Amino acid sequence: MSAVLDVVNPFDQTKVGSVELSEWDDVDAMLGVAHTLYRNRDGWLPAYKRIEILKETARQMSGRAEELALLIASEGGKPLIDARVEVTRAIDGVELCIHEIGQMSGREIPMDLTEAGSGRIAFTQREPIGVVVAASAFNHPLNLIVHQVAPAVAAGCPVIVKPALDTPLSCEAFVDMLHHAGLPKDWCSFAACQNDVAEKMIIDPRVGFFSFIGSARVGWMLRSKLAPGTRCALEHGGAAPVIVDETADLDAVIPLLTKGSFYHSGQVCVSVQRVYAPSGMVAEVAQKLADAAAALKVGDARDPNVDCGPLIRPTEVDRVEQWVDEAVQAGATVLAGGKRLGPTTYAPTVLLNPAAEARVSIAEIFGPVVCIYGYDTIADAFDAANGLDFAFQSAVFTKNLDTAMQAIQRLDATAVMVNDHTAFRVDWMPFAGRRQSGYNTGGIGYTIHDMTQDKIAVIQL
């Protein structure tokens, strides 16, 4: 008999549901069936059928939008107002996959550029890459699944999805909707499983593409163990930097920094963590942000008036508390928060000038903590922003076009937001980490491209 995993609300630890855990024999069978489906080219799902399935899935999601939002808030602790936005984005993501199916086209390759190629015509087409295994994270329990699973369906790949064990219910609901929309069950399998089973699945040679969202330590380890030929995409995190210059309109800046810093209690891979402001105005920037942080309501994410919910596990509150305490002992000034509010919540926290070597300065805290630093020259700010081994999205606030263009050129990041926070994203833009922050590029269209491969046909006339 399969073990059953109880899923709890991270705020009060009450049970909100349960799922059956898959053992290796279950997953091995899933892989076998999925690999057989892929190898049987006559049985591949045609584009029109994939479009029909995804259209019906989006329709079902729209009809269950409030139910899905409450599920996100209940199992993941994301405030209801933000959970509703996540559902809307997830629906848009499915519809974007439908659009991208029509973009999966090849091109003519000119052959008569040399005498050796003359007398031939050639063209390419895109084919599914193989069985996709997707391992996901807890912080966007529906939208991340959509970003990993719906592109696989669009590309025509059989897919097995392993959700974060903290938040499997949204994933299970999405897979069920795909099945009810007409996707044969073997084309998308739900595999909630422990890490040892998941690793064995991921490194299996039957896997054509591995999609991972989670910690860098785990992601890079798994990549090193992939079977020869398995392609992958890794999405990790960072400690996103923001530069504020002396021309910035602080009345516009502070609300954006507040949202970017404390959205989902900082449990976002591109959450604002490091803010650099001119030495002459750093105290003002820090205090204004602290005032905004202090006004945020912390509590049960199911309460529509709550701005910041719990951290995903009580042990994460312990860790954040330890990191902040270390920073304060090393000289950081607490301007807001700096304390736990209960077993599962931590106050939105603003730290002024933590030490450069403090963990809050050099590692992703993944909690409701933002650090403010002073700088003397803009070049110093760029150097500090670029000083870590990982990089994802970054931002600059300025009214000076030269400064904006300089930031775009100088910041070592895959995205530079001008006059916006680092957590901004739309689902059709490229989304990727540099260096230790990730491998390959996310975004619906980019993911579908990675889950397909070119085939060329050359015809001698």
C-alpha 272/C-alpha 258 separation (Å) is: 9
pTM more than 0.85: yes
Write down all domains in the chain, each with its CATH number in brackets.
4-236+437-460 (3.40.605.10), 240-427 (3.40.309.10)
pLDDT number for residue 437: 79
C-alpha 35/C-alpha 345 separation (Å) is: 44
Closest alpha carbon to 413 in 232, 211, 239, 220? 239
Place of tokens 């259209």: 55
Strands 434-435 vs 390-391: parallel, antiparallel or unpaired: antiparallel
pLDDT number for residue 202: 97
pLDDT number for residue 186: 96
Q: Compute the radius of gyration of the chain from its Cα atoms.
A: 23
Closest alpha carbon to 187 in 164, 159, 162, 151? 159
pLDDT number for residue 53: 98
Q: How far is CA 153 from the centre of its chain?
A: 19
Q: What residues act catalytically?
A: 235, 269
C-alpha 438/C-alpha 117 separation (Å) is: 40
Number of CB atoms found within 10 A of residue 247's CB: 11
Is the CB of residue 54 less than 8 Å from the CB of residue 155? no
C-alpha 49/C-alpha 33 separation (Å) is: 20
Write the pLDDT tens digit of every residue in 144-188: 999 999 999 999 999 999 999 999 999 999 999 999 999 999 999
pLDDT number for residue 395: 95
Closest alpha carbon to 152 in 170, 169, 174, 137? 174
pLDDT number for residue 1: 56
Residues in the chain predicted with pLDDT less than 50, given as ranges, are none
pLDDT number for residue 288: 97
C-alpha 392/C-alpha 199 separation (Å) is: 26
